[in-house]
Amino acid sequence: MPFDASVTMRGLTFRSPLLTGSGTFGYGDEFLSVMDYAPLGGIVTKSLSIRPREGNPPPRICETPGGGVINSIGLANPGVEAFLKTKVKSLPVGTTRIFLSIVGDTVEEFTAVLEKLETIPEIDGYELNVSCPNVKKGGLSIGGDQVAVAEIVRACRGLTKRFLAVKLTPHHPSVPPLAEAAAKAGADALTMTNTLVAMMIDAEKRRPMLGTVTGGYSGPPLKPVALAKVWQASQAVDLPIWASGGISDGLDGIEFLMAGASGLQLGSILFADPYAPARILREMEAWCDRHGVARLADLIGSLRT
């Protein structure tokens, strides 16, 4: 029997669980000449805000000795109006499903961006970023407040019939209440999880390695944390979970599916390896072959506990 990599979430079929992680993939066209998009079930763009954001002072990225990275981009983006005028035509329409990430400081900012994006016919849905660690207002402070998260999700839900994912913070002390709040408010999927607040120091210079001192930690070292968040969310709510955190090979993907993920976001790994989507899909297929699994979707939530 041919291998079936497709997954269906809330009536929407994806040709594979592989997605791109917001912030690592621009607006979808930057990687076109170096990456095969065919293995991707969808892409999630960099977050869009109501006004342009120039982003944080550099340096904005540093590596960690454990094979990870810390970033402090600060949601740099042209703002939704400029996006609609100039960048929207660069969306890779027709290559894969497209989800636009939205960020804001208030409920009204989220809904204002979403309303403008509703005018684009070719997109499949949204991911609400209520958890960025690199902005002073909004971001973590909203994302840690389940009442605020529910308000944002409910308001956006009222404005769109499209697929609505919500990216939650890893810093809330307990996943279930936050996940339940987002689910009750009408989310179609939960993304678990955003980057962890972290920092690095250059002792020789006695200076932080990022312009904002702290940033968001991502890459392979994050995987055990993200696995736990995915598992906890999948136990708490009956919604598809998009895993985000340290996925770098096929075995990671298999493990996240077992933990309850239906979507697998590839983020920082794309910086190192734009061949990753095809490679990871191949590696997952090989694992399934060895274990007599014909449908990748059969692995979702299959962890034996």
Partner 1 sequence: MNRPIAEIGIVRHAFEVSANLWDLTVEAPQIAPVTRAGQFVHVRVTDNHHPFLRRPLSVGPVAGKSLRLIFNIRGEGTRLLAAKRPGDALDLIGPLGTGFAQPNPARTSLLVGGGIGVVPLQLLDDQLPANAPRRFLLGMRSQSTSPLTLEEIEDRRIDVASDDGSLGFKGNVAALLEQVLGGTDTASLDIYTCGPGAMLSAVKRISLGAGIPAFASLEVPMGCGLGACQSCAVPRADGEGYYLVCHDGPVFDARSVILEPEVLP
- Residue 283 as a binder of partner 1 (CB under 8 A): the answer is no
Neighbour tally for 63: CB within 10 Å:
12
Quick one: which segment of 20-28, 101-109, 148-156, 169-177 binds partner 1 (CB under 8 A)? 20-28
| Beta carbon nearer to partner 1, 46 or 167 | 46
- Residue 24 as a binder of partner 1 (CB under 8 A): the answer is yes
- Residue 241 as a binder of partner 1 (CB under 8 A): the answer is no
What are residue 166's DSSP bridge partners?
128, 190
Phi, psi of 140 (to 5 degrees): -55, -40
Of 8, 10, 54, 108, the one binding partner 1 by CB under 8 A: 54
Q: Contacts with partner 1 in 73-112 (CB under 8 A)?
A: 73, 76
- Residue 250 as a binder of partner 1 (CB under 8 A): the answer is no
For residue 150, how far is the Cα from the chain centroid?
Answer: 19
| Beta carbon nearer to partner 1, 29 or 145 | 29
- Residue 186 as a binder of partner 1 (CB under 8 A): the answer is no
Q: How many residues sit in the footprint of partner 1 (CB under 8 A)? A: 40
Q: Among 253, 254, 263, 196, which residue's Cα sits nearest to residue 233? A: 263
Q: Contacts with partner 1 in 210-239 (CB under 8 A)?
A: 219-220
| Beta carbon nearer to partner 1, 112 or 210 | 210
Active site residue 288: no
Q: In whole angstroms, how close is the CB of 305 to partner 1 at the nearest point?
A: 29
Quick one: which segment of 54-62, 193-201, 225-233, 285-293 binds partner 1 (CB under 8 A)? 54-62
- Residue 44 as a binder of partner 1 (CB under 8 A): the answer is no
Residues in CB range of 164: below 8 A, 6 or more apart = 125, 126, 128, 153, 156, 157, 186, 187, 188, 189
- Residue 144 as a binder of partner 1 (CB under 8 A): the answer is no
User: Cα dihedral angle (278, 279, 280, 286), rounded to 10 degrees?
Assistant: 110
For residue 118, how far is the Cα from the chain centroid?
Answer: 20
Q: In whole angstroms, how close is the CB of 270 to partner 1 at the nearest point?
A: 7
Of 5, 9, 16, 23, the one binding partner 1 by CB under 8 A: 23
Q: How far apart are CA 145 and CA 252, in angstroms?
A: 30
- Measured between alpha carbons, how far is residue 54 from residues 42, 59, 79, 262 in Å? 27, 14, 10, 34
Tokens of 254: 């298999």
Tokens of 89: 């035509």
Q: Which residues are catalytic?
A: 132
Residues at the site binding partner 1, with contacts judged by CB under 8 A? 23-26, 30-35, 46, 54-69, 71, 73, 76, 219-220, 248, 268, 270-275
